[in-house]
Amino acid sequence: MTAHGATETSEAAAEVSERRLHPVTPLRRAWAPVAVLIGWAVHDPDGAQRHLTRLTTTTLLIGLAVLVPAAALYGFCSWWFTHFAVTGTELRIRTGLVFRRTAHIRLERIQAIDITQPLLARVAGVAKLKLDVIGTDKKDELAFLGADEARTLRAELLARAAGFAPETAHEVGEAPSRQLLRVPPGVLALSLVLTGATWVSVAAALVVPPVLWLFTHSLWTVLAVALPLLGAAGASSVGRFVAEYDWTVGESPDGLRIDHGLLDRAHETVPPGRVQTVRIVEPLLWRRRGWVRVELDVAGSSNSVLVPVAPREIAEDVVARVLPGVSVPGPAALSPAPRSARWCVPLWWRGYGLAVTDTVFAARSGLLRRSLALVPHAKVQSVRMTQGPWERARGVADVCVDTGANKTVRARLREAGEARELLAAQAERSRTGRRDARPDRWMA
């Protein structure tokens, strides 16, 4: 490196100002040593009980007098050694008390930035930023920032990712949004009651433990089975209601915004152009009311629900915003599986259907829980035909399309000749679709 280059580098480094997280962060991190002890006790309850019975009251008080300051010191030190900075090309996060780690997140590789506020964080007025980045399975996060600072930083990062100059990105601010949909709490609660999975999990939690007690008379066996079942029943009913409470979808230049949560509020963004697959799910007991659920596969993002429940017409309008130019094929437009397929999947073969429009590859499956998957032609990464020995004997085959979210949509049990023609035609549609696709950028 020349002296001139070294001078430029030092000047650029001097211009980057590193910042610390919110001062309440040490309180959250101080719980880490306590959580380790609780985890050890849960993992080995007998050993924990033996050790606790050996300790006297004085020893316990001395232990607490050492543990609490040590936990507080750990929280303070971990906060003190954590910094972040936004440079012209990246978000830099330095963490680590003993082993230092520096994450360099390229701004153009940021897929989405979500803001979440757990209950205690809402009380303290702080928020957490979660970043979806291309090529990483785990989200990087900044926890915690002041609520206003989090929103300002999110807007600045999105503006930088959209191509705004560093000098003007902080002036862009949060893009305005227009509300498209809000799910009333009563509708959400009724939809959960009408969901079969909820009743199956509740029935299993109520029936299985008494049956086990009759056969084993072992309390530990009953608890080992009952607790996971109760947890699953709570997650599928109360947990979903709490997580999907006050679900609101808004439209803004940086994508569709989703706000939800009763205790923990989440502010998520579905980035434009990144949606790989949309599924319109229709449980059996929802059909008389015309309700559907809309799920997503987004490349590099964990956002998986777009609409928890809504009338079909309103849900299709939201789908049209996340997949511009796409219209959802109606039941009459879906071509059913041939009658010869009834020997491959008895009864359930009636649930399969396929429609290919100018914009999407649409495959339906399921009888009790119908699911219509929509894949824009431009998002198809590969297409293949599969045919097992029994399917070959019946003259049918499956056509599979793979998307950029590492998911596969399968059009099952098509007539073999139709499947071969569909394979060649879909490959051509995907090639031309990618050529004409809109750019995957915010605020484009």
**What is the CATH classification number for the domain harbouring 319?**
2.30.29.30
Domain boundaries, position 324: 270-436
Does residue 274 share a domain with residue 168?
A: no
Burial class from Cβ neighbours inside 10 Å (0-12, 13-18, 19+) for residue 214 reads exposed
Determine phi and psi for 160, rounding to 5 degrees.
Answer: -65, -45
- Does residue 198 fall inside a structural domain? no
pLDDT grade for 132, boundaries at 50, 70 and 90? confident
Give pLDDT, residue 204: 85
Does residue 305 share a domain with residue 163?
A: no
User: Is it the case that residue 26 has pLDDT exceeding 90?
Assistant: no
User: Is it the case that residue 256 has pLDDT exceeding 60?
Assistant: yes
Does residue 432 share a domain with residue 287?
A: yes
Higher model confidence: residue 187 or residue 327?
Answer: 187
pLDDT grade for 9, boundaries at 50, 70 and 90? very low
Q: Residue 291 contacts by C-beta under 8 Å, 6 or more apart in sequence?
A: 187, 191, 282, 309, 310, 311, 312
Higher model confidence: residue 17 or residue 241?
Answer: 241
As a whole number, mean pLDDT of residues 321-346 equals 90
Residue with tokens 């900044």: 142
Q: Are 45 and 224 in contact (CB under 8 A)?
A: no
Give pLDDT, residue 11: 47
User: Is it the case that residue 2 has pLDDT exceeding 60?
Assistant: no
Number of structural domains in the chain: 2
Cα radius of gyration (the chain): 27
User: Is it the case that residue 440 has pLDDT exceeding 90?
Assistant: no
Enter the tokens of residue 75.
């929280």
- Does residue 419 fall inside a structural domain? yes
| Whether the bond into 144 is cis, omega within 30 of 0 | yes
Q: Tell me, what amino acid is at 5?
A: G
Give pLDDT, residue 1: 42
Task: Answer positive or negative: Cα dihedral of 90, 96, 100, 101.
Answer: negative
Report how far Cα 112 is from the mean position of its chain's Cα atoms. 11
Does residue 424 share a domain with residue 276?
A: yes
User: Is it the case that residue 251 has pLDDT exceeding 70?
Assistant: yes
Does residue 315 share a domain with residue 420?
A: yes
- Does residue 247 fall inside a structural domain? no
Does residue 275 share a domain with residue 167?
A: no
Q: Are 307 and 247 in contact (CB under 8 A)?
A: yes
Q: Residue 438 contacts by C-beta under 8 Å, 6 or more apart in sequence?
A: 272, 273, 324, 444
* Short-list 29, 162, 56, CA closest to 441: 162
Does residue 304 share a domain with residue 167?
A: no
* Short-list 245, 228, 234, 233, CA closest to 191: 245
Give pLDDT, residue 175: 72
As a whole number, mean pLDDT of residues 400-422 equals 92
pLDDT grade for 30, boundaries at 50, 70 and 90? low
- Does residue 138 fall inside a structural domain? no
Q: Are 292 and 306 in contact (CB under 8 A)?
A: no
Q: Are 402 and 346 in contact (CB under 8 A)?
A: no
**pLDDT tens digits, one per residue of 357-397:** 999 999 999 999 999 999 999 899 999 999 999 999 999 99
Determine phi and psi for 195, rounding to 5 degrees.
Answer: -95, 125
User: Is it the case that residue 7 has pLDDT exceeding 60?
Assistant: no
Rama region for 96: left / alpha / beta (φ>0; ψ in -120 to 50; rest): left
Give pLDDT, residue 391: 93
Does residue 424 share a domain with residue 308?
A: yes
- Does residue 128 fall inside a structural domain? no
Q: Are 32 and 71 in contact (CB under 8 A)?
A: yes
The whole-angstrom separation of Cα 385 and Cα 381 is 14
Does residue 285 share a domain with residue 168?
A: no
The whole-angstrom separation of Cα 355 and Cα 366 is 16
User: Is it the case that residue 47 has pLDDT exceeding 90?
Assistant: no
Give pLDDT, residue 288: 92
DSSP state of 19: B
- Does residue 264 fall inside a structural domain? no
Residue with tokens 């085959």: 397
Does residue 159 share a domain with residue 28?
A: yes
Q: How do 291-298 and 83-86 pair as beta strands? A: unpaired
The whole-angstrom separation of Cα 433 and Cα 357 is 12
As a whole number, mean pLDDT of residues 424-433 equals 89
* Short-list 379, 367, 362, CA closest to 422: 362
Does residue 300 share a domain with residue 153?
A: no
Alpha helices in 308-354 (DSSP H): 312-322
Determine phi and psi for 108, rounding to 5 degrees.
Answer: -75, -10
- Does residue 404 fall inside a structural domain? yes
- Does residue 365 fall inside a structural domain? yes
Q: How many percent of the chain have pLDDT more than 90? A: 36
Give pLDDT, residue 300: 64
User: Is it the case that residue 437 has pLDDT exceeding 50?
Assistant: yes
pLDDT grade for 190, boundaries at 50, 70 and 90? very high
Reduced to 3 states (helix: H, G, I; strand: E, B; else coil), residue 34 is helix
As a whole number, mean pLDDT of residues 60-77 equals 81
Range ranked top by mean pLDDT from 12-16, 190-194, 252-256: 190-194
Rama region for 34: left / alpha / beta (φ>0; ψ in -120 to 50; rest): alpha
User: Is it the case that residue 402 has pLDDT exceeding 90?
Assistant: yes
User: Is it the case that residue 57 has pLDDT exceeding 50?
Assistant: yes
**Number of helical (H) and strand (E) elements in the chain, helices listed first:** 15, 20
Task: Answer positive or negative: Cα dihedral of 198, 200, 206, 209.
Answer: negative
Give pLDDT, residue 396: 95
Q: Are 240 and 185 in contact (CB under 8 A)?
A: no
What mean pLDDT, rounded, does the chain reach? 84
User: Is it the case that residue 13 has pLDDT exceeding 70?
Assistant: no
Give pLDDT, residue 191: 94
Higher model confidence: residue 402 or residue 201?
Answer: 402
